[in-house]
């Protein structure tokens, strides 16, 4: 995944007779997001689906991008919130507390309309005023007040529909998208023949027998495979490429992912496919598609990219962006020969540098899991919109129910606060998970800016084993980064608990 980057009303569902339940389980153990939906309203069942891969075995996320300058956190529509208050499946106070947290996160990025804060103002007082304006009476929302702070037509502020989070590119975008894919394929072909460049990036490690520079040969082969795959994708856009017109990927800093032969990219890449950043994403994700060993270990804007071990670089998708970026004049390392384990000064990495690199990777893994949580909630909501229900008789669905309630308590969703069964995934839950994925990514960005004391202190005496020292330093750095960013949940201990859970469930979010 390039970071960027991974997958109703209760009263109506409860009224369905038992005979209406599907003979198949709501979930099975191999269930993963189905990305193929035609464009349609949130409350409408899909009329047809693309006949392609029905289950994505995993979502590979790629390069981490900087927060877009105009990006905003999002909230559900006023109609969605009013429906939650009217249906009454969860206490009004719970709904309002979740909305307040979303508004607080939006305001942290300075994207909440009409809320003017300065050094002398009190954020809690300001947000209390906003909440009273929007929710003047129990069970009611004031539409005009809502629109004073939030533009209902702006998709970067209001989450509209899960159905357009994974969808085929519109016809008017496909011709230009084809050109972008072919251009990226051409650049991959050039990189495949650039022996000097391959040596600079992937190193000159020799094989056990004289077979040449083993990683140069492997990178050459991978680039040729990338060229071939991008050319194939260019002529199979309708069946092999999806995008996100609902902007979920953008909000969570996902540029794209690749799985089971399918390439998914954010909407801006589809509309601007000839931009260098778009072509870099194509190459990055194609690397995942052509070789299952190529994963995401470190991104090119993070500590450790230029000092990674040779065996890491050859299997790291972001390193396949490097030569193309040098050709396009956008590399931060142009002309540099990457030397494993050596800092910019030419000396061996210090304990501080090693800890910083490990902490960056720690947040990357946690962010990946947070995106997977958002994806899972979105997928469950789509299933529920299609009329499917949980069945406690199916073991796989009992596992999903347990996992959803576990996450609900960790992330302050509404599922564990709901009074009825089955649990209902609301857009408030989807947007809350989306905001946490975004916040974890932004908190991770602070690691590179932490002072030495924020990483190294208070560490135990150096007499301990080095790896124990580094592991403890990672936790100190993670805690410092969360504090520098600002609380995720309002409690530092709960913030760390959530971060630990996300890291420990890397590639294991789906039960």
- pLDDT at position 391 is 63
Report field, pTM of the whole predicted structure over 0.75: yes
Largest CA distance in the chain: 78
Distance CA 443, CA 438 (A): 9
Q: What was the pLDDT predicted at 19?
A: 35
User: Distance of alpha carbon 182 from its chain centroid, rounded?
Assistant: 26
Domain ranges of the chain: 10-38+49-57+351-504, 75-154
**Rounded distance between C-alpha atoms, residue 238 and residue 169, angstroms:** 7
Q: Report the alpha-carbon distance of residue 45 to residue 113 in Å, rounded.
A: 34
Each residue's pLDDT tens digit, 442-458: 999 999 999 988 887 76
Q: In whole angstroms, what is the distance from residue 475 CA to residue 332 CA? A: 29
**Spatial contact of 68 and 250, defined as CB atoms under 8 Å apart:** yes
With beta carbons less than 8 A apart as the criterion, state whether 167 and 242 touch: yes
Residues of the chain with pLDDT under 70: 3-73, 111-125, 207-212, 343-346, 390-396, 458-468
Q: Which helix (H) or strand (E) holds 243?
A: strand 241-244
User: How confident is the model over 55-104, as pLDDT tens digits?
Assistant: 333 333 333 332 232 334 578 888 888 888 888 788 899 989 998 888 88
pLDDT of residue 385: 82
Element (DSSP H or E) covering residue 493: helix 492-504
């Amino acid at each position: 995944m390039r970071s960027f980057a991974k997958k109703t009303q209760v009263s109506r569902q409860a009224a369905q007779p038992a005979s209406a339940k599907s003979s198949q389980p709501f979930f099975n153990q191999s269930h993963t997001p189905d990305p193929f939906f035609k464009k349609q309203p949130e409350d409408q069942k899909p009329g047809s689906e693309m006949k392609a891969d029905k289950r994505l075995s995993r979502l590979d996320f790629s390069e981490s991008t900087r927060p877009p300058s105009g990006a905003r956190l999002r909230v559900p529509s006023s109609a969605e919130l009013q429906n939650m208050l009217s249906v009454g499946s969860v206490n009004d106070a719970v709904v309002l507390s979740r909305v307040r947290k979303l508004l607080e996160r939006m305001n942290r990025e300075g994207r909440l309309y009409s809320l003017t804060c300065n050094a002398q103002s009190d954020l809690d007082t300001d947000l209390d005023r906003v909440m009273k304006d929007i929710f003047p009476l129990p069970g009611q929302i004031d539409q005009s007040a809502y629109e004073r702070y939030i533009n209902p037509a702006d998709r970067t502020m209001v989450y509209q529909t899960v159905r357009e989070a994974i969808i085929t590119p519109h016809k008017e975008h496909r011709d230009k998208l084809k050109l972008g894919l072919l251009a990226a394929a051409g650049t991959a072909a050039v990189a495949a023949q650039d022996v000097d460049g391959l040596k600079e990036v992937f190193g000159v490690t020799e094989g056990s027998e004289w077979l040449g520079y083993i990683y140069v040969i492997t990178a050459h082969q991978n680039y040729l495979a990338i060229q071939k795959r991008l050319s194939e994708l260019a002529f199979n856009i309708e069946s092999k490429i999806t995008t996100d017109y609902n902007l979920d990927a953008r909000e969570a800093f996902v540029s794209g992912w690749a799985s089971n032969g399918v390439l998914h990219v954010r909407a801006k890449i589809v509309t601007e496919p000839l931009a260098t950043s778009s072509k870099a994403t194509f190459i990055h994700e194609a690397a995942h598609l052509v070789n299952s060993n190529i994963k995401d270990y470190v991104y090119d804007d993070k500590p450790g990219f230029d000092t990674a071990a040779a065996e890491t670089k050859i299997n790291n998708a972001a390193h396949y962006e490097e030569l193309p970026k040098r050709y396009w004049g956008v590399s931060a390392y142009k002309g540099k020969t990457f030397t494993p384990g050596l800092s910019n000064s030419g000396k061996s990495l210090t304990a501080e540098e090693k800890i910083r690199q490990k902490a960056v990777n720690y947040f990357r893994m946690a962010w990946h899991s947070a995106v997977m949580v958002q994806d899972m909630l979105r997928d469950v909501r789509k299933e529920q919109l299609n009329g499917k229900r949980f069945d406690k008789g199916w073991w796989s669905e009992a596992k999903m129910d347990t996992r959803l309630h576990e996450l609900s308590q960790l992330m302050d969703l509404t599922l564990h606060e709901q009074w009825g069964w089955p649990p209902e995934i609301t857009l408030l839950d989807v947007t809350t998970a989306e905001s946490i994925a975004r916040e974890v990514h932004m908190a991770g960005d602070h690691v590179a800016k932490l002072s030495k004391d924020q990483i190294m202190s208070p560490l135990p005496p150096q007499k301990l084993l080095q790896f124990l020292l580094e592991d403890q330093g990672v936790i100190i750095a993670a805690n410092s980064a969360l504090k520098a960013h600002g609380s995720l949940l309002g409690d530092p201990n709960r913030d760390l608990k959530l971060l630990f859970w996300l890291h420990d469930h890397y590639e294991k979010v789906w039960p």
